[in-house]
Amino acid sequence: MDLKLQTLAVIGNGIIGHGITEVFSSSGTQTILIGRNEASLMKALSRIKTSLDEFSRRGLIEQRSVEAAIARIRISTQLDDAAGAELVIEAVPEEMELKVSIFERLDRITRPEAVLASSSGHPASELSVRVKNKDRVIATHFWYPPQLLPLVEVCGSPETSPDVIGWTCARLREAGKEPVVIDREMPGFIGNRIQFAILREAWSLWASGAASAEAIDAVVKNSIGRRLGITGPIESADLGGLDTMFRFAEFLQPTLDTSSSPPSVVGERRCSADPHIHGRSNVEWSELSAARKEELFRWLARDRDRNTA
């Protein structure tokens, strides 16, 4: 696929949208960030600058690269400004009709060879129902926050061109991401499905009174949570011995939760004055968020050292 990425357009300037903008602008791509109003776009630019400054303070990029990345970003409130981009990534709120209408419009205004991508967990076939050139529509599911987590799940519809999939993965790698191709469309793709399988069991254990939320989280953080960043679940089972793991699965799987909806007590807690299961103060939540961010930066530094070794 002979298409050089010179300009990226990002539709939506929320957390995911401005994170994607940061990723590509800092890797050298001219980027148009398109949002609903000037005020929110300026706020997004400020957040990108703050984030890049932190990368610089941590030695992950040079300070001169911060200003260069910001200079590559142009903001707009007009969807038509995406017309000249070779790659457009939609990152608007999870409202299907809004997404479908945006893809319909992009199909009309962009050049025929431009790639139209979505950052959401919705399959490309659902987003392209009103698109004529369906072969160029693809899902690129970034993980939050995009500038700190390397994974992008890439999945085309049955009508997406294989060349588009390959081209998209190449551009993501150039931007420093870790694209993983998913061979078949499914709701949520892979990461969310595994994440929610864990969450379903964790909520079920808590709701049934098997253990406290603190105990359940402590078990995960001090066991599989440490291993999964090194060996994935299938690798872990292979290392543990497939015969042993298969036999244990035969014993354990019939007892696991298979509910098709979350426990009602979780729904009740969601609608309460304090919509959390853990009883923590706002300060404690802020500290936990900061600790998680610190660990994600540590992983990024490790990735950089490994890639430059």
How far apart are alpha carbons 30 and 7 in whole angstroms?
Answer: 5
**Per the omega criterion (within 30 degrees of 0), is the bond before 179 cis?**
no
Q: What string of DSSP letters covers 144-196?
A: SSTTT--EEEEEE-TTS-HHHHHHHHHHHHHTT-EEEE-SS--TTHHHHHHHH
How far apart are alpha carbons 309 and 304 in whole angstroms?
Answer: 9
Is 67 a known active-site residue? no
- Written as six digits, the tokens of 112 are 């025929």
How far apart are alpha carbons 139 and 154 in whole angstroms?
Answer: 6
Q: Which of 104, 153, 174, 284 is catalytic?
A: 153
The residues facing 142 across adjacent strands are: 152
How far apart are alpha carbons 92 and 116 in whole angstroms?
Answer: 14
Three-state DSSP class for 269? helix
Q: What strand order describes the sheet that includes 30-34?
A: 73-76, 30-34, 7-11, 87-90, 115-118, 137-142, 151-156, 178-181
- Written as six digits, the tokens of 23 are 């990723």
CB atoms within 10 A of CB 254: 8
The identity of residue 30, as a single letter, is Q
The residues facing 221 across adjacent strands are: none
Residues with a known catalytic role: 153
